[in-house]
Homo-oligomer: A and B are copies of this chain.
Amino acid sequence: MDLQPHPLVRRLESYCPLTEQERQVLRDASREIADFEGDRDLVREGERPVNSNVLLDGMTFRYRLTPEGKRQILSFHVPGDVFDAQSFLLAEMDHSVATLTPCRLAVLPHRAVRELTETHPGIARALWKATLVDAAIAREWMVSLGRRDAQQALAHLLCELVARLDAVGRAPQRSIELPLTQTEIGDALGLSNVHVNRTIRELREARLIALQGRRLVVLDWERLKAVAAFNPRYLHHDV
């Protein structure tokens, strides 16, 4: 029993039980660590990466740009997330990935992933499941983009980030680091930065949240969840 288990092992184990041998080969395969500064592309649309990555520390996001220069943010990633497992099977990137903050990654060469998954069906299943949860999160965002108003959508995003960070021990007292500009929040929710500002003010004035600088404190979790109609089922946290 590690006191601080490998984040990848911890995450995959939360999806499927692993044998001690599987844990060990996972640790071996992800020994290579890489550090990146904040606000920097890690992969770009159209590229063909040769590694997948596990986020160990920091925050990243996926995005697409339209020809008119608009940006849609497709997901945010927190420590423990395997944010580009898909590049192992889908050769060409259909979106870009960038850091929000300085980040530490564990590098998983596709070659190693192939070997791991062919030899250990349990690892394959756990990685597959990780990508399915990722897809479930994307579907939930579609509901925000299509059918929730600005206040509901913002509340929902905040609930989700608190829940996901809490699952990796980074939301003490429902307070989290939120290294997002209002423009980035807008690009995630399909809103303008101006409207995000006004919507944050609404939530603040309703005493649901406190948000200053990069720190979010949820003041009234129950009411925030109610505004968002937040049901964490889609995060598939409890097995």
Contacts and interface: CB of A to CB of B under 8 A. Distances in A.
Which of A71, A72, A94 is most buried by chain B, counting CB atoms within 10 A of its CB?
A94
B146 A229 contact: no
A125 interface: yes
A234 interface: yes
Contacts of A72: 142-143, 146-147
Given A89-B128, A128-B128, A74 B139 contact: yes
Interface residues of A, number: 49
Given A138-B135, A139-B138, A147 B66 contact: yes
Contacts of A217: none
Contacts of A67: 229
Interface in A118-134: 118, 121, 124-125, 127-129, 131-134
Taking the full assembly, how many copies of this chain does it contain? 2
Contacts of A118: 121
Contacts of A92: 233, 236
A129 to B, nearest CB: 4
A86 interface: yes
17 contacts: A15-B89, A46-B233, A62-B139, A64-B139, A64-B140, A72-B142, A86-B136, A89-B129, A90-B133, A90-B136, A94-B136, A117-B124, A118-B121, A121-B121, A124-B128, A142-B142, A145-B145
Given A131-B131, A135-B138, A145-B145, 6 more contacts: A64-B139, A71-B147, A86-B136, A94-B234, A124-B128, A146-B190
